[in-house]
Chains A and B, each alone.
Chain A
Amino acid sequence: MKKLSKYRRHRVVAPLLLIAALLGIGTTFQVAGATTTSVITAEERTKAISEGREIFLKGCSSCHGLNAEGSSISPSLIGVGAASVDFQVATGRMPMADMSQQAMRKAPVYNDEEVAALAAYIASLAPGPEIPTDEMINYERDGSIAEGGELFRTNCAMCHNFAGQGGALTKGKYAPSVMGVKPVHIYEAMITGPQAMPVFSDKTITPEEKLSIIAWIKAAEKEPQLGGVALGRVGPVTEGLLVWTLGLGLLIGIAVWLTTKAK
């Protein structure tokens, strides 16, 4: 039950539907998860690279070019690193469903092995940020929630909102909610700067600080509702809306009852 409520709590409207949808995504992520750690031999690596190339030619090259060199509509992938591939593909952002403002998080198209193969192929083209291992992102051990909050508010909240619910960028782009994102993907996002997001270098935000940020985000996901329903955690807009609908609605309704004659 506790696990379920984690997804449930940041929704105000049509909760059941959304829970179902989120749960779906959640389990997919969990399945897609447990890849990154195992040590790979050189032989396996070569195999993965060639498999990755196959997948790339079929699924990605039409936009990113036959050698991942990019085109007028999409960026070059040379040097983006395995971390970038893992983030983009394992969160379902790539391949893009349509050429809209930005790639959305959705159910991934490729399974873990395919993502790993793609990552290996792209990493083989030029060095770039690598996928962090589970050992590297043990945020429960190495991160501090309170420090992470400070870092989050300074570096992340301006786009992702004070509670990590996401926010608007210019011209229809948006910073997505960071709720329910796997730690490894949060980490990858910080070191690769996907889409509109800038890169946060390891020297300006150290790996330990990154883990603190993840620790804080994970704590925010579990943040209990302390004063009643959270109203989306987007600030005073929903509060004002509730006052004008439910609050004033109830009061005026009662005032009408109060002033009509009894039968």
Chain B
Amino acid sequence: MSARERIAGNVASYVDDRTGAAAWMKKNLKKVFPDHWSFMLGEIALYSFIILLLSGTFLTFWFDPSMREVVYEGEYLPLKGVEMSAAYASALEISFEVRGGLLMRQIHHWAALIFMAAIVVHLMRVFFTGAFRKPREFNWIIGVGLLTLAIVEGFLGYSLPDDLLSGTGIRIAQAIIQAIPVVGSFLAFFAFGGEFPGIAFIPRIYTVHILLLPGIFLALITVHLMLVWYQKHTQYPGPGRTEKNVVGYSLMPIYMAKAGGFFFIVFGITALLGAVASINPIWLYGPYTPGQISAGSQPDWYMGWLDGLVRMSPPLEPVIFGYTLSLNILIPGLIIPGIIFTGMALYPFIEQWITGDKREHHILDRPRNAPNRTALGVMSLTFMLVALINGGNDIIATHFDLSINQIMWFSRIGIIVLPPLAFVITKRLCLSLQRADRDLVLHGRETGRLVMMPSGEFVEVHEPISPEKAWLLTQHEQKAPLELADLDQRGVRRPGLIKSKVRKRFAVAHAEQVSKPTVEDLKEIEHH
């Protein structure tokens, strides 16, 4: 035994004497993780979060979250002598007087954008593969909660420097709060410590941004990961992969090296963006004052869809019994996002209700084999995309010689017409892909080689596909829609008939599929 081994052994036994960790570690170091690029998307989000904690901590050493008015005397000449808040002045100090400060600010902001994008693509992966099904509904809900909080957290961070752009964002947030029926103006006065903009808001959101929300994030992410660990990861279908096993690589050493390495890669790419591409050049925006505005004032992309919805909203502001109801703000600003996020959180339960499927699922669906779900997902994305495009309509207008009015009308109509269209097209596409799978299994792969038959007829040679591929294309379960009787055993109409009719309609739509080939089908083909 070498000296080094002896020391390591002593340390390990010292720790284990006090914790008994060896038994747990022994098992978990061999924990198996399936390998697939799409399983790394959540990791991108996790690592971006760590990058945000690190770079954010650095920024707090200089940032002064105060709306006290100061006169700028720093290094950036075009703002010299200008009145501004201490928050903005200290953000300028970080950018120009702290070496590496601008790099860190840019890394922090790029990491935030990557964090949001990674959450969204991770969510898409989980949704389209049905990874949210039993037993993972809790984790889905935590995930939706994290997404919601991340949007808020990102917006608060974007607001902190108190530049002209972020101040405009706060102005709009204040208007949304103020528009809430009955208590709106009271809530706004509480949030801002009085009138807009006041001097209280930035110190308050600073605490929320650097303490409260990151704390909640840490707790939720921990639970999110513990559940993944405990429930074991889902896996894609394939030969040898079943509902009862996980096929992959062990944590020690492969996954430690890969996941650990990937952290550095994500950090490296974020730093690369921070080095070569400018983000949020606050010194160009100038300090916030409510009397100024810039053309093309936009939020960051993860809020862009919200801004797009607000822009396309019809001018509805009825006065009911003497009270003003700002529907032009409430519908796009609170009601539609509320419906979207609640619907998203509840989706696993909705799907369970439609299919009546109460079993555990660990093998992922290929999106084409769940046409209804896939179509619903694409439909929602289309909705978001139209809203997002409208959120940048002024920039699009100037760069592509269009008119903001045209884009607005396109969006107003498109947001109603395009999502259902996307649903229908996606569903048809999924069913066609199922049909193509079926043909591939039954007739094999087209080789492109032509052979002349004795009769003089040309036919293309088809090669049978491998058993592995055939299994992949046919492993999925094809369940018949839920059977629901309208009448009970005594022939009496059951209560809740309408509900059950709706459920039946959904169940039939959900179960629509092209029947997968069986061995019989194959044999029959061989006979011909």
Contact = CB atoms under 8 A, between A and B. Distances in A.
Q: Do chains A and B touch in the complex (CB under 8 A)?
A: yes
Nearest to A163: B284
Interface string A9-45: 0000000000000000000000000000000000000
Contact of A172 (B38, B270, B294, B402): B402
Interface in B272-309: 273-281, 283-286, 291-301, 304
A258 interface: yes
Pick the most buried of B37, B121, B261: most chain A CB atoms within 10 A of its CB. B37
Main secondary structure of the interface of A (DSSP, over half): helix
B80 A146 contact: yes
Contacts of A219: 77-78
B356 interface: no
B164 interface: yes
B118 interface: yes
B269 interface: yes
Pick the most buried of A174, A228, A235: most chain B CB atoms within 10 A of its CB. A235
A237 B398 CA distance: 13
B403 A231 contact: no
Contact of A162 (B36, B80, B164, B401): B164
Given A172-B402, A226-B95, A235-B165, A157 B295 contact: yes
Interface in B83-129: 95-96, 102-103, 105-106, 109-110, 113-114, 117-118, 121
Nearest to A176: B398
Contact of A174 (B273, B276, B398): B398
Interface in B12-69: 35-41, 44
Contact of A259 (B37, B295, B297): B37
Contact of B284 (A173, A223, A239, A250): A223
Interface in A228-242: 228-231, 233-242
B266 interface: yes
B66 to A, nearest CB: 21
Interface in A160-174: 160-163, 166-168, 170-174
A168 B404 CA distance: 7
B397 interface: yes
Nearest to A149: B78
B403 A246 contact: no
Nearest to B291: A154
Contacts of A235: 165, 294, 296-298, 395
A89 B285 CA distance: 32
A146 B81 contact: yes
A254 B265 CA distance: 8
Interface in A197-252: 216, 219-220, 223, 225-231, 233-244, 246-248, 250-252
B284 A240 contact: no
B241 to A, nearest CB: 15
Contact of B164 (A153, A237, A259): A153
Contact of B79 (A146, A163, A227, A256): A146
Q: Size range of the interface on B?
A: 35 or more
A142 B402 CA distance: 39
Contacts of B293: 157-158
A255 B36 CA distance: 8
Contacts of A233: 281, 284
A237 B269 contact: no
Given A227-B281, A235-B165, A247 B110 contact: yes
Given A168-B398, A240-B300, A243-B301, A226 B403 contact: no
B279 A239 contact: yes
A242 B81 contact: no
B358 interface: no
A225 B275 CA distance: 11
Contacts of A220: 78, 284
Contacts of B79: 146, 149
Contacts of B113: 239-240, 243, 247
Q: Size range of the interface on A?
A: 35 or more
Contact of A237 (B261, B291, B292, B296): B296
B192 interface: no
B182 interface: no
Given A174-B397, A234-B296, A259-B36, A153 B279 contact: no
B277 A162 contact: no
A237 B269 CA distance: 20
A104 to B, nearest CB: 10
B262 A167 contact: no
A145 interface: yes
Contacts of A154: 291-292
A128 B127 CA distance: 67
Contact of A243 (B35, B114, B283, B284): B114
Nearest to B293: A158
Nearest to B281: A227
30 contacts: A145-B78, A145-B80, A146-B79, A149-B78, A149-B79, A149-B286, A153-B164, A168-B393, A168-B397, A170-B403, A170-B404, A172-B397, A172-B401, A172-B402, A175-B295, A219-B78, A220-B78, A226-B278, A227-B102, A227-B278, A230-B281, A231-B277, A233-B281, A234-B296, A243-B113, A247-B110, A247-B113, A248-B114, A258-B261, A259-B36
Interface of B: 35-41, 44, 77-82, 95-96, 102-103, 105-106, 109-110, 113-114, 117-118, 121, 164-165, 258, 261-262, 265-266, 269-270, 273-281, 283-286, 291-301, 304, 392-395, 397-398, 401-406
Interface of A: 145-147, 149-150, 153-154, 157-163, 166-168, 170-175, 216, 219-220, 223, 225-231, 233-244, 246-248, 250-252, 254-256, 258-259
The 9 nearest A-B residue pairs measured at CB:
A167-B295, A240-B301, A172-B403, A255-B40, A162-B294, A227-B278, A168-B394, A243-B113, A168-B397
Given A172-B405, A226-B278, A227-B279, 7 more contacts: A149-B78, A166-B398, A228-B278, A240-B304, A247-B113, A250-B269, A258-B37
